[in-house]
Structures are given as structure tokens and as C-alpha cells.
Amino acid sequence: MTIVLSGSAIELHGACGVEDAEELLTALEAKPQLPVSLVHAGDIHTAVWQLILLCERDLEGEPASDFAVRYLLPTLKNRKVK
């Protein structure tokens, strides 16, 4: 399971593929107050990134993917990245 609901965040674990987008959407709808944690995430599919962008949640940490850290997170840092 790559999407985990902890008590304090919606956590992404390991490689998050396109098949995880629906599960992430369900978690986002179920827990609208929780931030999204990228601390344990590896590569993240574009569909999952689109949900992260649209949900406008606080983000915690950085994924292991150099691409995401270099190109995607700087765009999000102007938003709600912790």
C-alpha cells in the first residue's frame, strides 16, 4: 500500500503509480484537514502529482525522487510546503 492514513498526515510510501491516484483522492476526501507527507515517497506518477497540486494541502518533507525535488517542489514552495 503506497497511500497510508496516519493520525497526522496522508502519507505516500515508495513508488506511487497511476493506480494510486484513486486511493489518494479517497484519502483526501475522507480527511480534508490532514497534510500530505512526501517523506517516505519515491517516484510519484503525474496523476498523483496533479491531485497534490489540486488539493492545496500542506505538504511535509520531500520525496526521494531528485526530479520532484528539483523541478516540482520549488513550484509548490510558493504554496503550503512545510
- Quick check: 18 pLDDT over 70? yes
**Is residue 10 scored above 60 in pLDDT?**
yes
Please give the pLDDT value at position 14: 94
Q: How far apart are CA 66 and CA 25, in angstroms?
A: 24
CA angle 38, 29, 21 (to 5 degrees): 55
- For residue 49, what pLDDT band results from cuts at 50, 70 and 90? very high
Q: What is the pLDDT of residue 81?
A: 45
**Mean pLDDT over each residue of the chain, to the nearest integer:** 90
More reliable by pLDDT, 1 or 82: 1
Where is 6: in which H helix or E strand?
A: none
